[in-house]
Amino acid sequence: MGKIKVGFIGLGKLGLDCAEVFAEHYEVRGYDPAQRISEAIKVCDVQEVIQDSDWIFIAVPTPHAEGYDGSIPSSHMEPRDFGHEAVIDAITKVNHYATTSKKVVLISTVLPGTTRKHFVTSLNNQHEFLYNPYLIAMGSVKWDMVNPEMIMIGTEDGNPNALAQELIDLYQPMMQNNPRYEIGTWDECEAIKIFYNTFISAKIGLANMIQDFAIRIGNINVDVVTNALARSTQRIMGPKYMTAGMGDAGACHPRDNIALRWLAEEYDIGYDMFDTIMQARELQARNLARFLIDQCNRYNLPIVIHGKAYKPDVPYCIGSYSTLVGYYIREHGLPVVYVDPLADDRDRCLDTIDGPAVFLWAHNRQITYDYTGTQEATRPYCEIQPGSVIVDPWRSVDQNLSGVTVLHYGNTRRS
């Protein structure tokens, strides 16, 4: 059996180095409209690349518009998507020149939803398609390629299909670090890739904000502060707080951020990240409230918030996110009640709920107290009558509960 044949469309900063890494194991052809020279791969016309390759990796640009690269101020400008023309062009060429079925792999970066909306619909259905963005940095492309933090493989329904396995097998001899494979829908992999980058931006933005405070306030070496935070592996540098659910709450966090808004103004920092964080928290609560209102209208049931204290097993309702969600429900003109045997604020708190209702499952003991070794799930604070709907923002309540509809808020996968 001859060597597996791999084709690259787009031999730029990413594509050329990656193609050359593939060439250590496979027969590689590549096409680029600009002149490219390589000793490791055969640079040829696009027709030959497509016709003579089993796999076709698309590594063309998905450019930002002029002035949107971050080297000049752009935050005041209208938000814009990346350009898709080069990807569509590459797909059109595959459709045009392919005489057999091809395994098409897109590695360019695009925003969540793009592949499903714009690309897959353009590819002839005799071909198979995966979305496989790379986490690669300039200056270390070849090393990053074979030592990735993870390899994301996006399929239509998020299941590891035969083609995804073939791609893993293709990478296997190339990789030096036995990488983690993350398989999801096209959209999930688009999201993992882009939010990976965004987490880095947010981290840098926060560290540099502390630097700004150090300069303005005095007597602060930013490194003392950021190193202490960097060594905080219990909560900050680790997977804790990476489960989407209810918002930040309690006696300290919301009010700390609210007070820091004052400090940012006092020292004329010039921007207010706390305001952005607090505003996002409020609008996330409003979105959740709207989701509950939709269910209330759909099922014609009243809304009950299950858990009023800011977290399970404590009485404290100070800074409670449940109350914030309740605020937005009431602002919409609908009544809301709470069930929580411990809550120290008994306003609108009931001990029993006599009929079916839409319940917001606000508390999750396992997620909140996981770090202490707690295994026990939250038990219902009242009887849940048949015909009820549970909206679970933590996505951990069993969806097969009899007589009750369980909606996992935040999971919009079809399967």
> Contact positions toward ligand NAD, by CB under 6 A?
9-15, 32-34, 59-62, 86, 89-90, 108-109, 134, 136-138
Query: Measured from the CB atom, is 9 or 339 closer to ligand NAD?
Result: 9
Cβ-proximal residue to ligand NAD, closest one? 12
Task: Report which of 318, 321, 313, 353 is spatially closest to residue 337, judged by C-alpha positions.
Answer: 353
Residue with token string 């029993």: 352
Query: Measured from the CB atom, is 136 or 269 closer to ligand NAD?
Result: 136
Query: Measured from the CB atom, is 12 or 302 closer to ligand NAD?
Result: 12
Phi and psi (nearest 5°) for 377?
Answer: -75, 165
> Least distance from C-beta 347 to ligand NAD, angstroms?
51
User: In this structure, what DSSP letter does residue 118 have?
Assistant: I
> Least distance from C-beta 209 to ligand NAD, angstroms?
26
The answer to whether the Cα torsion of 184, 187, 193, 196 is positive or negative is negative
Sheet hosting strand 358-361, strand order edge to edge: 349-350, 336-339, 303-306, 358-361, 389-392, 405-408
> Least distance from C-beta 109 to ligand NAD, angstroms?
4
> Least distance from C-beta 132 to ligand NAD, angstroms?
11
Query: Measured from the CB atom, is 42 or 261 closer to ligand NAD?
Result: 42
Residue with token string 């690309």: 119
Query: Among the residues of 8-56, which ranges form H helices?
Result: 15-22, 46-51
Instruction: Indicate the SS3 state at residue 265.
Output: helix
> Least distance from C-beta 88 to ligand NAD, angstroms?
8
d(CA 7, CA 28): 6
Query: Measured from the CB atom, is 129 or 134 closer to ligand NAD?
Result: 134
> Least distance from C-beta 137 to ligand NAD, angstroms?
6
Q: What is the enclosing helix (H) or strand (E) of 408? A: strand 405-408
Query: Measured from the CB atom, is 109 or 396 closer to ligand NAD?
Result: 109
User: Do residues 59 and 11 touch, judged by C-beta distance below 8 A?
Assistant: yes
Query: Measured from the CB atom, is 137 or 242 closer to ligand NAD?
Result: 137
Q: What is the enclosing helix (H) or strand (E) of 326? A: helix 321-331
> Least distance from C-beta 415 to ligand NAD, angstroms?
28
